[in-house]
Amino acid sequence: MNNTLLNAYQLKLLNCAVNQLTGNLPYSPHWKLETYQMNNNYLSSTLSDEFHSFSNLLYLLLQNNYIIGTIPTLFIANTTKLEDFNLGSNLLTGSLPPSLIAKVPRINQLSLFENMLTILFL
């Protein structure tokens, strides 16, 4: 990703969907993102703990990529404003207990289809 974009202070919306992008998910601690939309690309990194700094995030749209690993607990705990959480059709593993979802009270859409997650309903 271009260094100019990575250093863009106060960036609130990043939409690079459907662009055949490869590599890691772009991240900058300077961003103040409300929308992070990178769906329908070829991104193959993990959803790193760094994403917990996006505390104003409303929309996380990363479906149809090759994102691997687990969904970080710290990320879920710090994104309490999240309304749309779409990680469908990736390569995610691990469990997603209901206690994590309970920390996101405003969520309207939760899409985790076509992954390898274990979801426990108690």
Bridging pattern class, strands 116-118 and 91-95: parallel
Task: Count the domains in the chain.
Answer: 1
Q: Could you tell me how far CA 7 lies from the centroid of its own chain?
A: 20
Please give the mean pLDDT across all residues of the chain.
88
Looking at residue 64, what DSSP letter applies? S
The answer, yes or no, to whether residue 80 has pLDDT greater than 90, is no
CB 49 within 8 A of CB 73: no
Domain that holds residue 82: 3-118
Work out the average pLDDT over 118-122: 69
The answer, yes or no, to whether residue 99 has pLDDT greater than 80, is no
pLDDT digits over 12-64, tens only? 999 999 999 999 999 998 899 999 999 999 999 998 878 888 889 999 999 99
Task: Please report, for the domain that includes residue 81, its CATH number.
Answer: 3.80.10.10
